[in-house]
C-alpha cells in the first residue's frame, strides 16, 4: 500500500502561503505531488527563489472566462468531475490513513480539492483553517467554501486562538500554528538583500478594489468608493491603483479632477517580491479585501478595509481599520493615517515548522 502527500492549489495567493511548508518538505527531502486546479495562472516564478523549482504532477486546464459567474460554476463542476475520473486508479491504491491531501484557505480550488479527497477517503489537511466572517455573502464565495471545507477536513491547522475557537464542535484534529504561514513568506522577502527600485519616487498610498461581491454586484458603490478615497486622500500623496481584471471597467469613468488623475499611477498585479516591496514603502493601504491585511499587520502599515466584515483578526484595533461603509470613518483614516502606523513584527514561531513536525510525527 502506497503513501503519498499531495498539494492541491489554484491561485498564486495559495502558493504564497503554502511556500514555507513546501520549502520545509524539500529541506527534509519529503516527497510530494503538486496539482494545480486551473482556477488562475499560478506564478511559480514569484516564489522559486524561496521554494526552489516545484515539479507539477498534474495541471488541469486554466479557467478561460474569469468574469462570468456561470462559467465559473461550469468550470467547478467540470474540474471536479475530471479530477474524480483521472485520479481514480491512483487514489484507490493509497494507504488512506497515512496519505495527506493538503489544501489551503477558502478558494473554490480548495473546495474542489476537499471534495475530491473526501470522495476517495484521503486524509484532508486544511492550512489556514478556522478563519470566519460568519456571513456567506462577504467574502463571497470564499466564506461558503471555508464553511464546507472545515467540515470535511481531518487535520485543521489554525493560525491563532480565535481561529481555533471557531472550530469548536467540529471533528478533526485541530492544531494552533500561532501565526499564519504568510508571515514567513513576508519575512523572507524583507530579509532579501536585493531591493527593487521604487515604483513611485514620491510618497504614495496603495488602492485596490477587486472583490467580486463588490465589483460585480455593487458596481455603483465600488465606483463611489474609488472616487471617495482618491478625492479625500492627502494632496501630497500619489495613488498607486493595483489593477485587477475586475477593476478595469471603472478606470476611465472615475469622476476625479485632472490633478488627481495625474497623480494616479495604475500598475498591473506585481510579482510577490515587488508587491511586498511596494507595500513596505507605502504610507497606507486601502483595499476592499482582507487578504493583504496580514502582510500589512506584519509590516505595521496602516490598512483600511472597505467592507463590513473581516475573516481575520490580525491588526484589528492596531493598524487595521474596518470601514463599515462609514465615509466619515474612512475620511478620518485618510487624514490621520499616521496614528495607525505600528512597529513591524519580529520573527517568532514558525507555523510551517509546527505543521511539518505534526504531519511527520503522525506518520505511520
For the ranges 94-98, 287-291, 360-364, the lowest mean pLDDT is seen at: 360-364
Please compute, for residue 211, the number of CA atoms within 13 A of its CA located in the half-sphere on the CB side.
28
Please compute, for residue 319, the number of CA atoms within 13 A of its CA located in the half-sphere on the CB side.
25
pLDDT at position 35, please?
Answer: 98
Quickly count: other Cβ atoms within 10 Å of residue 251's Cβ: 12
Write out pLDDT tens, residues 163-218: 999 999 999 999 999 999 999 999 999 998 776 666 777 899 999 998 888 888 89
For a pLDDT cut of 90, what percent of the chain falls above it? Answer: 82
Cα gap 310→322, rounded to integer Å: 8
Q: Which residues pair with 8 in a beta bridge?
A: 35
pLDDT at position 197, please?
Answer: 67
Do the Cβ atoms of 150 and 170 come closer than 8 Å?
yes
Write out pLDDT tens, residues 102-142: 999 999 999 999 999 999 999 999 999 999 999 999 999 99
Please compute, for residue 340, the number of CA atoms within 13 A of its CA located in the half-sphere on the CB side.
25
The number of angstroms, rounded, from the C-alpha of 27 to the middle of its chain's C-alpha atoms is 24
Q: What does the pLDDT average to over 44-60?
A: 97
Taken in order of first residue, the domains within the chain and their CATH numbers are 5-179+349-361 (3.40.50.2000), 204-340 (3.40.50.2000)
Q: What does the pLDDT average to over 288-312?
A: 95
Q: What does the pLDDT average to over 87-115?
A: 94
For the ranges 35-39, 71-75, 244-248, 330-334, the lowest mean pLDDT is seen at: 244-248
pLDDT at position 295, please?
Answer: 96
| Most confident range, picked from 66-80, 185-199, 298-312 | 298-312
Q: What is the band of 1 on the pLDDT scale with cuts at 50, 70, 90?
A: very low
Q: What does the pLDDT average to over 23-30?
A: 96
pLDDT at position 66, please?
Answer: 58
pLDDT at position 65, please?
Answer: 65
Cα gap 10→104, rounded to integer Å: 9
pLDDT at position 227, please?
Answer: 97
Reduced to 3 states (helix: H, G, I; strand: E, B; else coil), residue 225 is helix
Whether residue 296 is predicted with pLDDT greater than 50 in this model: the reply is yes
Element (H, E) at 72: helix 69-86
Mean residue pLDDT across the chain: 93
Cα gap 258→264, rounded to integer Å: 10
pTM of the shown model: 0.94
Cα gap 119→80, rounded to integer Å: 10
Cα gap 196→281, rounded to integer Å: 11
Q: What does the pLDDT average to over 226-234?
A: 97
Do the Cβ atoms of 35 and 8 come closer than 8 Å?
yes
Q: What is the band of 248 on the pLDDT scale with cuts at 50, 70, 90?
A: confident
Amino acid at each position: 500500500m502506497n503513501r503519498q502527500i499531495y498539494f492541491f492549489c489554484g491561485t498564486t495567493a495559495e502558493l504564497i502561503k503554502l511556500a514555507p511548508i513546501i520549502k520545509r518538505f524539500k529541506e527534509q527531502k519529503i516527497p510530494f505531488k503538486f496539482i494545480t486546479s486551473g482556477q488562475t495562472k499560478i506564478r511559480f516564478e514569484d516564489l522559486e527563489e524561496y521554494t526552489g523549482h516545484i515539479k507539477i504532477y498534474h495541471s488541469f486546464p486554466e479557467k478561460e472566462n474569469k468574469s462570468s459567474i456561470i462559467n465559473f460554476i461550469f468550470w467547478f463542476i467540470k474540474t471536479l468531475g475530471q479530477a474524480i475520473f483521472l485520479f481514480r486508479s491512483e487514489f484507490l491504491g493509497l494507504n488512506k490513513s497515512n496519505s495527506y491531501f493538503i489544501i489551503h484557505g477558502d478558494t473554490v480550488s480548495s473546495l474542489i480539492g476537499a471534495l475530491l479527497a473526501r470522495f476517495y477517503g484521503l486524509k484532508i489537511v486544511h492550512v489556514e483553517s478556522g478563519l470566519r466572517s460568519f456571513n456567506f455573502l462577504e467574502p463571497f464565495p470564499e466564506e461558503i467554501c471555508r464553511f464546507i471545507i472545515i467540515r470535511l477536513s481531518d487535520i485543521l491547522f489554525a493560525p491563532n486562538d480565535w481561529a481555533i475557537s471557531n472550530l469548536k464542535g467540529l471533528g478533526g484534529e485541530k492544531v494552533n500554528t500561532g501565526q499564519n504561514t504568510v508571515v514567513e513568506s513576508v519575512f523572507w522577502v524583507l530579509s532579501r538583500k536585493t531591493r527593487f527600485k521604487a515604483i513611485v519616487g514620491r510618497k504614495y498610498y496603495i488602492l485596490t478594489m477587486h472583490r467580486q461581491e463588490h465589483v460585480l454586484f455593487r458596481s455603483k458603490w465600488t465606483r463611489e468608493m474609488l472616487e471617495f478615497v482618491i478625492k479625500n486622500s492627502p494632496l501630497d500623496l500619489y495613488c498607486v491603483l493595483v489593477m485587477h481584471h475586475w477593476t478595469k471597467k471603472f478606470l476611465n469613468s472615475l469622476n476625479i479632477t485632472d490633478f488627481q488623475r495625474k497623480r494616479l499611477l495604475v500598475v498591473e498585479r506585481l510579482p510577490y517580491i515587488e508587491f511586498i516591496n511596494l507595500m513596505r514603502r507605502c504610507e497606507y493601504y486601502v483595499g476592499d479585501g482582507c487578504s493583504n491585511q496580514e502582510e500589512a499587520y506584519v509590516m505595521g502599515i496602516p490598512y483600511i478595509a472597505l467592507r463590513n466584515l473581516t475573516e481575520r483578526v490580525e491588526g484589528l484595533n492596531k493598524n487595521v481599520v474596518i470601514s463599515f461603509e462609514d465615509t466619515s470613518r474612512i475620511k478620518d483614516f485618510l487624514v490621520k493615517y499616521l496614528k495607525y502606523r505600528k512597529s513591524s513584527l519580529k520573527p517568532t514561531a514558525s507555523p510551517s515548522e509546527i505543521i511539518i513536525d505534526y504531519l511527520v510525527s503522525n506518520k505511520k
